[in-house]
Structure 1
Amino acid sequence: MNAPRQRASVVQVCSRCGAKWRVPGGPAQWCPRCNGALLAPGAEGPRRTVRWVARRPDANVVKPAPAVARPAATPRYSYIPRWGFVDLPADSEPEPQSRLAVLGAKAVPLLAATAVMFILAALAEAGRYGILLRNRTRLIDPTLLAVSDATVWATGILAPVLAVAAAVACVGWLRAARQREFARVDRTDTRSTRILALGCLVPVVNLVFPGVFLEEFTRTALPRTRKLIRVWWCAWVFGAAVSVASVLWHFNGSYQGEADSVSFNAFADIVAACVALLTILVIRTIDGHDVLGRRRAPKRWTVATGPARPVIEPVRSAAEREDEREDERKDETAQQEVMAK
C-alpha cells in the first residue's frame, strides 16, 4: 500500500514584525510572535504597519496661505492735537431755583454793600459831630449844614434797608448750606424755610436762633470754624444791643444828649459794619473759601517717623568734642574685642 501524502507547507510573512513563518497545511491568519496579521502566501514585501488616523472631513482641502501684512509707517501727527481724553459730565437741565435761593447767592455782595453803607453812615455822623463842635464858636454855612443833614438821612435810611435785604439773602444761603451739608451725610433737614426765616428775621428771636441754626449743621466742622461761629454769635448779640441803645439815646432832650447821640450813632454804625464783615467771613469759611472768595486748599500733614535732628548743630566747646571722640574710640575698642572673642 502506498503511504499517505503529507500536506505541502507555505511561507507567510507577518505584516507587523516582518517574520517569515512556514505554515504547514492551509494558510494561517495570526503571527505566533507578535500576534500580527499574516500576509497571503507568496506575498513577500517590505514591512508594513497599519495605523488608523481620524481626520476632519475638510482636512484635505487646501487653504490659502494668510497674506503677510507689509510694514507700514507709524502714524503720527504733523501738528499738536487739540483734543484730549476728558470725561465731560452729561448735560443736565438746570433745576429751577426759587427766589430765596437766587437771593442767597447774593448774600456776600449784599453784606459787603451793607458794610460800606454803614461805614459811610459813620463818616456822616462824624462829620455832623465836627460841625457841632465848630458851631460852638462860629456860625455854620447853611449849605454845609444841608449837605450834612442829607448825607446823614440818606445813609441812615439806605444802611438799614441794605441790612434787611442782606438778612433775607443770608436766610437763603443758610437754607442752601443746610441742605448741602445734610445731603452729604445722607440726612434730611428737619427745619423748613419758614422756620429759618422766622428765626432769623423776627426781632428778639433772631438773637438766639441764627446761632442755633449754624451750630446744627457744623457739628463736624473744624474747631476753628465752630469757634468763629461762636465769636460771630456774640458779635451779633452785641451789635443788636448797641443798635437798640443808639435808638433809645435819641429820646434824651438835652443838647449834650443830642451831641452824645451823634457820636454814639457813629460807634453803632462801625459795630454794624464789623458784624457785616464778620458775617462774610463766616459764610466764606463754611463754604470752604478764604475772605477773598478763593477756594481754600487743604493742608496735608505728614507724620515724622525719625528722630528730630537740628538743621544747625549747636556750638560745642573743644573739651566736649574731645570727650565725644574719646567715647567713640572706647565704643570701637569694645566692638573689636567682642569681634575677636
Structure 2
Amino acid sequence: MTAPTGPPGRPAELPPCTRCGRQAPPGSGAFCPWCGRYLAALEWVASPPPPETLPGAVRPAEPAAPAAAYTGPPRYRAVPRWGLPLGPWRTPAGAAGGGLGNVDRARAMAGQLIPVLWVTAGMSALAAVAEAWRYALLLASRSDALSPVAVGWSDALVWFAGWSSVVAAVAAGGLTVAWSLAAHRAAAERAGIRPWRTRRRIVLGWLVPGWNLTAPGSMLAETEHAALELPPGDRPSPSRELRVWWALWAACVVLAAVTLVWRFRSGTQALADGVVLHAWADLLVAVTAYRTIRMVRWITGLLEPGPRGPRELLVRTSRSSAAPAASPPAEPDGAAVRAG
C-alpha cells in the first residue's frame, strides 16, 4: 500500500473520479470538485508471498542435532540416598486391619469362580453331546457295522469332555465353597449380626452326602436374607433365583449319585442306560453351572455397599430462544446438582 507520487516539486496528481470520470486539478483536496465523491489518496500494490511460505512448498530441512556420545553409566560424587528400603514389605501403620474385608474377599472369589463355572458349563455340554453321539452309534450298531473312525472319535470325545468336565466341576466346587464362606460373613457384617454357622459347619454342609441337599440352599438363603438387611428375627424366604438354583443343585446331586451307582451294573442294556444317564447328568451339570453363575452374581451384588452421603449429578438443561427478557438467567448447559 503506497501513496501516489508525482514529479519532484509538484503535488501528486489524484486519480480520476470513479463516478464522473473527470481528472481533479492538483491541490483540489480529497473530494472531487464536480461530484463530491471521495478520491482515494492511496493505491494498493499486491506482492506475492515468499515461495517457502506457500502450501506444499519444500522447505529446507532443519539440521538435526548431533546425538550425544555415550559416556558410560552415571557417576556420583557420593553414594545416592534414594532407593527402596532394605527388608521385606511391611503393611503401613495407617492401614486398617492389614487385609481384605469379607466383602472384598467375596468379590474377589466371585471373579475367580465365574470363569471356572463357564468352563464347567461348556465342558459339561460338550460331554452331553459326546454321550448322545455314543448312544446314536449304539443304536446304529444293532443293524449295521460301525466305522472304526467314528468309534475312535466318539471314544476320544467322550474321554476328553468327560474328564475335563470333572476337573472343572471339582475346581468350581472348591471355589464355590470358598466364596460362600466369605459371602456368609460379609452378609452378617452388613446386617450387624453374628453368623451362627461356623466355617466347619458350612464346609461339611457342602460335602456330606444327604446333608448337601439342604444345607447349601438354607445357608445361601440366610446370606441373601442378611444381605437384604431384612429383620434378623424373620424366617428367611429365598428369592426365585435362589429357589431355582436350589432345585437344580439337589437334582444334580441326586442324578450324579444315581449315575455313579449305575456304573457298577453289568450287561449290554445297563451299559446303554448308563450312556443315557451320563448324557442327562452332563446336561444337568451344565444348566446348574449356568444358574450358579447367576446366583453368585445376584448375592455378590447384594453385598456391595450402597452409596452414602450426597452425590453430585451432571444435569444438562436446554435454553429456550423464546424465553421472556424478564426471566432469571438460565443455568449453564452443564450444571452440577447436589442430590441426596
Normalised to the residue count of structure 1, the TM-score between the two structures is: 0.52
Residue 92 of structure 1 and its aligned partner are, at CA, apart by: 5.3
Residue 118 of structure 1 and its aligned partner are, at CA, apart by: 0.7
Q: Does 1:95 align with 2:108?
A: no
Residue 256 of structure 1 and its aligned partner are, at CA, apart by: 2.5
Are the counterparts in 1 of residues 131 and 278 from structure 2 also a CA contact under 8 Å?
Answer: yes
Look up the match of 1:159: 165
Q: Does 1:244 align with 2:229?
A: no
SS in structure 1 at match of 2:239: helix
Look up the match of 1:123: 129
1:286-340 CA distances to partner (integer Å, 9 max, x unpaired)? 1228xxxxxx9xxxxxxxxxxxxxxxxxxxxxxxxxxxxxxxxxxxxxxxxxxxx
SS in structure 2 at match of 1:187: coil
What does residue range 174-189 of structure 1 map to in structure 2 within 5 Å? 174-189=180-195
RMSD: 3.3
Residue 97 of structure 1 and its aligned partner are, at CA, apart by: 8.5
State the alpha-carbon separation in 1 of the partners of residues 125 and 172 from structure 2.
16
Are the counterparts in 2 of residues 225 and 286 from structure 1 also a CA contact under 8 Å?
Answer: no
Residue 163 of structure 1 and its aligned partner are, at CA, apart by: 1.1
State the alpha-carbon separation in 2 of the partners of residues 280 and 248 from structure 1.
29
Look up the match of 1:229: 242
SS in structure 2 at match of 1:287: helix
Q: Structure 1 residues 189 and 105 mapped into 2: Cα distance closer, same or farther (>3 Å)?
A: farther
State the alpha-carbon separation in 1 of the partners of residues 116 and 288 from structure 2.
13
Look up the match of 1:193: 199
Are the counterparts in 2 of residues 114 and 162 from structure 1 also a CA contact under 8 Å?
Answer: yes
Q: Structure 1 residues 104 and 201 mapped into 2: Cα distance closer, same or farther (>3 Å)?
A: farther
Look up the match of 1:14: none
Look up the match of 1:217: 223
Alignment counterpart, residue 119 of structure 2, candidates 101, 113, 128: 113
Are the counterparts in 2 of residues 128 and 262 from structure 1 also a CA contact under 8 Å?
Answer: yes
Amino acid at match of 2:126: L
Amino acid at match of 1:202: V
Q: Structure 1 residues 144 and 236 mapped into 2: Cα distance closer, same or farther (>3 Å)?
A: same
Normalised to the residue count of structure 2, the TM-score between the two structures is: 0.52
Relative contact order (alpha carbons < 8 A, sep ≥ 6): 1 or 2 greater? 2
Residue 125 of structure 1 and its aligned partner are, at CA, apart by: 0.3
Alignment counterpart, residue 173 of structure 1, candidates 179, 185, 189: 179
Are the counterparts in 1 of residues 206 and 216 from structure 2 also a CA contact under 8 Å?
Answer: yes
Percent identity, aligned pairs only? 35
State the alpha-carbon separation in 2 of the partners of residues 103 and 286 from structure 1.
12
State the alpha-carbon separation in 1 of the partners of residues 110 and 195 from structure 2.
17
Are the counterparts in 1 of residues 110 and 300 from structure 2 also a CA contact under 8 Å?
Answer: no
Q: Which 5+ residue runs of structure 1 have no aligned equivalent?
A: 1-90, 290-295, 297-341
Residue 225 of structure 1 and its aligned partner are, at CA, apart by: 5.7
State the alpha-carbon separation in 2 of the partners of residues 251 and 214 from structure 1.
35
State the alpha-carbon separation in 2 of the partners of residues 250 and 198 from structure 1.
26
Look up the match of 1:282: 295
Q: Structure 1 residues 181 and 188 mapped into 2: Cα distance closer, same or farther (>3 Å)?
A: same
Residue 217 of structure 1 and its aligned partner are, at CA, apart by: 2.3
Amino acid at match of 1:128: R
State the alpha-carbon separation in 2 of the partners of residues 96 and 232 from structure 1.
29
Look up the match of 2:282: 269
Look up the match of 1:61: none
What does residue range 22-61 of structure 1 map to in structure 2 within 5 Å? none
